[in-house]
Amino acid sequence: MARAIDPIGIFDSGIGGMTVAKAIKELLPKENIVYFGDTAHLPYGDKSTAAIQAYSVKIADILIKEKCKVILIACNSASAAAYELVKEYVGSRTKVLNVIDPVINYARERYQNTTIGLIGTKQTVNSNVYKKKMDHLANNLELKSLATPLFVPMIEEGILDGNISQDIIRGYLTKQELSGIQSLILGCTHYPLIKNQIAEYYKGEVDILDSSVIVAEALKGYLEFHMLQNKQDGPKYRFLVSDYTRSFEELTRLFFGEKVELQKYPLWE
Ligand code: DGL
């Protein structure tokens, strides 16, 4: 039985999911959080569906052991590849959420007869999960998508502004695959960090949908509905990783907004 004081379990292929953890911390400042970054296996964006499923199930086990009241798959690639399987595997032990459904619900409530763009990793885009889910809506939404794999290493190197990033952003966004869109889903943990640069490129003509914020709102709604919002002050955060390096720890500053200590998960080899 889930309790309000139990932590929210968040997992990602690495440190990028901390953009989602940050949005959750800002919206739900009393919630305890256990974060798991599978730094030994990143990036997930180029991995096979089977590999991502195997890693995700193993991580779900860890978060169940941590008594998480909900497991949020913060990684878009893992949400696309492994959500259904993880949900089935976890069963009634805890609730599993992903970062795709809240964005689909958001689009359903706001858009009709329009063209929506999606950018993400190869895994996310090639899975066609967004398209399948959108086709189920009665809103007549057309989805145009493009894998933008250079964004992840670019952002991790801290190349957010200046000529190099502008050229890469423009190079992708001018592609035919994204022509005529009226809104754009940032379908990757890393992209909130270049949200302003992307918005600047479109000069206000395209709505930019930041999934980290939309997902945090959806999580809040879920906790409220099930009366699982933590009321106690002094939230605890723990950040577990499958492989520790100092540079991963440095990256937390970029993605979480402050440097936090990473703990190597002992049972992960
Ligand atoms: N976390 C991944 C995602 O949101 C991006 C990084 C990776 O490929 O592992 O799709």
For 50, residues 6+ apart whose C-beta sits below 8 A from its C-beta are none
Portion of the chain with pLDDT greater than 70, in percent: 99
Alpha helix ranges (H) inside 136-229? 151-156, 163-173, 195-202, 211-225
Reported as type and span, the H/E element at residue 238 is strand 237-241
- Check pocket membership of 151 for ligand 1, CB cut-off 6 A: no
pLDDT by residue (tens digit) across 69-104?
999 999 999 999 999 999 999 999 999 999 999 999
% pLDDT > 90, the chain = 98
- The domain 101-211 is classified under which CATH number: 3.40.1190.20, 1.20.1740.10, 3.40.50.1860, 3.40.50.11030? 3.40.50.1860
pLDDT bucket at 269, cuts 50 / 70 / 90: low
Strand partners, 119: 146, 186
Mean pLDDT throughout 215-225?
A: 98
Tens of pLDDT, residue by residue over 131-184, are: 999 999 989 999 999 999 999 999 999 999 999 999 999 999 999 999 999 999
User: What single-letter DSSP state applies at residue 155?
Assistant: H
Instruction: State the helix-helix crossing angle for 211-225 and 101-110, rounded to 10 degrees.
Output: 100
CA of 225 to the centre of ligand 1 (A): 29
- d(CA 16, CA 115) in angstroms, rounded, equals 27
DSSP-derived letter for residue 4 is T
CA 121 to ligand 1: nearest atom = 10
pTM, two decimals, is: 0.97
**DSSP-derived secondary structure letter, 113:** S
Give residues with Cβ within 8 angstroms of 116, minimum separation 6. Answer: 107, 134, 141, 142, 143, 144, 181, 182, 183, 184, 185
C-alpha distances in angstroms, 243 versus 38, 150, 188, 264, 268?
7, 23, 21, 6, 8
pLDDT of residue 1: 86
Determine whether 199 is exposed, middle or buried from the number of CB atoms within 10 Å of its CB (0-12, 13-18, 19+).
middle
- What distance in Å separates the CA atoms of residue 55 and residue 64, rounded to the nearest whole number? 14
Planar angle of CA 243, 248, 253, nearest 5 degrees: 145
Same fold? 8-98+213-264, 101-211: yes
Whether the per-residue pLDDT at 8 is higher than 90: the answer is: yes
User: Quick check: CB of 42 below 6 Å from ligand 1?
Assistant: yes
Nearest to 70, CA basis, from 176, 222, 265: 222
* Ligand 1 probe mutation, 76, 125, 129, 242, most atoms within 8 A of CB: 76
Mean pLDDT of 195-205: 97
User: Is the shortest distance between the CB of 56 and ligand 1 below 6 Å?
Assistant: no
Q: Distance from the CA of 109 to the center of ligand 1, in angstroms?
A: 26
- Whether domain 8-98+213-264 has CATH 3.40.50.1010: no
Nearest CA to ligand 1 atom 9: 43
Q: How far is the centre of ligand 1, averaged over its atoms, from the C-alpha of 110 (Å)?
A: 26
Domain residue limits, the chain: 8-98+213-264, 101-211
Which of 130, 188, 193, when mutated, tests ligand 1's pocket best, judged by the most ligand atoms within 8 Å of its CB? 188
